[in-house]
Amino acid sequence: MILVFLGPPGSGKGTQAKRLADRRGLPQLSTGDMLRSAIQSGSELGKRAKVLMDQGSLVPDDVVVGLIRERTLAPDCRDGFVLDGFPRTVAQGQSLEAMLNEQSRKLDAVVLFEIASEQLIERLSGRRTCSKCGAMYHVFAAPPRVRGVCDRCGGTELVQRDDDQAAVITKRLEVYSAQTAPLIGFYESRGQLARIDAAGTAAQVATALEQVVSAL
């Protein structure tokens, strides 16, 4: 099964992609995570991407398309994958379509996470990530059991992403409206779009998502 999760930053698509991917035994392919790994490794690509990511802009289409192309050819992607944060422009959507055609595969569905923008700012500014294992928390909505300590691995560095600072959040939401939202029409016209209400709790959204995915 090949799925795309589409939605603004903070809509919960990363959390749900991880969850669904674990349940179905499919890899979650997050271009944001791939780029953050490149930054950590100190590679040239990482250095170039960091400048753009820190200001809330998108990295060039050919960079992310190249990352996805290579990753989808790995053996663990044979039975499918969940794309989280890719595509983010219509050009990326067209490249994905061409790439899947070349591989004689097809996209099963694009799940659109719908949520009001006021809620996004609240979610993004409270978001924290364990620097050791990547587990995600929210200072109010989903804090760890012990303050400052990761439930999953016991790590004690729960950090805010550089691009979750207020000024950058506003820019990322603008970039989403201008560059990513046109993908909604792109996939709607192909009859591939399924919408879910992303305003509820993670458990409620997971239930809605299961219903959509089970019906495919």
Scanning 51-59, 127-135, 140-148, 208-216 for contacts with ligand AMP by CB under 6 A, the matching segment is 51-59
| 195 belongs to the catalytic site | no
| Residue 128 binds ligand AMP, judged by CB under 6 A | no
- Comparing CB distances to ligand AMP, the nearer of 28 and 31 is 31
Chosen residue from 3, 4, 21, 64 binding ligand AMP by CB under 6 A: 64
- 53 binds ligand AMP, rule: CB under 6 A: yes
Q: Is 24 a catalytic residue?
A: no
| Cβ 158 vs Cβ 148: under 8 Å | yes
CB nearer to ligand AMP: give 69 or 145: 69
C-beta of residue 115 within 8 angstroms of C-beta of residue 200: no
Say whether residue 8 binds ligand AMP (CB under 6 A).
no
Which among 19, 36, 123, 127 is annotated as catalytic?
127
With CB under 6 A as the contact rule, the residue among 11, 16, 28, 31 that binds ligand AMP is 31
For this structure, is 161 an active site residue? yes
Instruction: Collect contacts of 52-59 with beta carbons under 8 A, ≥24 apart.
Output: 53/162, 53/163, 54/162, 54/163, 54/168, 55/168, 55/171, 56/163, 56/168, 56/169, 56/170, 56/171, 56/172, 56/174, 56/175, 57/171, 57/175, 58/88, 58/89, 58/175, 58/179, 59/35
Residue choice 2, 17, 58, 169 for contact with ligand AMP (CB under 6 A): 58
Stretch that binds ligand AMP, among 70-78, 82-90, 120-128, 135-143 (CB under 6 A): 82-90
Residues designated as active site: 13, 88, 127, 161, 172
Residues near ligand AMP, by CB under 6 A: 9, 31-32, 35, 52-53, 56-59, 64, 85-86, 88, 92, 163, 172
